[in-house]
Each structure stands twice: as C-alpha cells, then as structure tokens.
Amino acid sequence: MITTSNDTQSYPIPVATAPVPVPDLVKSPRLPAELLKSTIFLLKRLGDLVKERAVPELVAAGCNPYQHAVLTLLGEGAADTQAQIADALGFDRSALVGVLDDLEEQGLIERQRDRNDRRRHVVSITQEGLRTVSRRRSVIGRIERDFLEPLDADERDQLHRLLLKLASHHDPRYAGRKGSGSGS
C-alpha cells in the first residue's frame, strides 16, 4: 500500500496528485529552455492540453471523439467493413466493435452482413448519423477556434499544412489527402 509517508514521519514519500489546473501553472516556475526548444515536447504538451480541454466539452455535447471519427469517415460516403474502419482510423479492431455497438444503438449507423462474405459486416451511416455529424462539427470547430485563437488565419493554415506534411511522412493514411485548412 502506498501512503504519503513511510513508517518514519520524517521521510515523506511523494504521491502523484491530480494534474495542476492550467491557471495555477502560471504561478509555477518556467519550463527549462531545453524543453521549450524541443518541437516534440511542444507537440506532446499541446496535444495533452487540447485533449484536457476538448474531451470534457465534447462529452458534455454528447460527442465521443471515437464515435465522431467513425461517423466522419462514414459521412464522407464510405460504406466500409469494420476492419476497414479500424484500419483507416488506427483503432484496435476489437475496441471498434463497442464503438459501433453504441452508434448502432443510437440509430447513427447500420451494420449489415456483406453479401460477398458473410463473415464481415458492412457499416453505413444513417440520416440521423449525418445530422449528428453536422451538429458535432460546430462544437469541434468552436473548440479548435478557441484553442488556436492566438494564431491568425494564415498561421492556422500554415500550421495545418505543416502538421499534415509531418503526418503524411510518418503515416501513409495521411498521404495524398488534401486538408481543407485548419477548420476555422
């Protein structure tokens, strides 16, 4: 059992606490210059921050990020098998089944046996699924605009192009895709 101190009171054992809220960080000491020079560190930290801020808002709006990714993929006109969806989005195939179960319960997708291979299911989006994607886009757009607020439109587009270039280099699923800008 981990406690805040061992048998001797003079030797406290540090215990991890909940993350410090961002406003409280302003009072904290500055980060080391070496970390501020590291693009990888900044990407990781910004990823953590956007997740920390966005997920609660998305959940409050009834928008599970995994469900939204599936609906967005299907909303582009794809009627894919479960395996193709998992591979396209980089999701674990077994974990995707639960996401699809939830979406199907909500009437946002339909699954049907593949006529050519009865072992597979073809997944398609319903009209309600399309309406849901549209509503969620506004929530996600607002979150993105708020997070990128310090950047002007040209800087947002430049950042998006550079991130897409990096993503394309490291993951073939991004290659050849034309992003439409930062979404703002």
Domain ranges for the chain, please list them: 60-148
Strand partners, 5: 12
Q: How far apart are CA 125 and CA 111, in angstroms?
A: 9
Candidates 53, 46, 9, 16; CA nearest to 31 is: 46
Candidates 63, 78, 73; CA nearest to 138 is: 63
Instruction: Write down the pLDDT at residue 172.
Output: 87
Whole-angstrom Cα Rg for the chain: 21
pTM: 0.72
Instruction: Write down the pLDDT at residue 16.
Output: 43
Query: Between 1.10.10.10, 3.30.70.120, 3.40.50.450, 3.40.50.1100, what CATH number should domain 60-148 receive?
Result: 1.10.10.10
Count Cα neighbours of 105 within 13 Å in the Cβ-side half-sphere.
7
pLDDT in tens, 131-165: 999 988 888 999 999 999 999 999 999 999 999 99
Identify the band that residue 23 occupies on the pLDDT scale cut at 50, 70 and 90. Answer: low
pLDDT in tens, 44-101: 999 999 999 888 888 888 888 899 999 999 999 776 888 899 998 999 999 999 999 9
CA dihedral 158, 163, 168, 169 (to 10 degrees): 110
Instruction: Write down the pLDDT at residue 25.
Output: 57
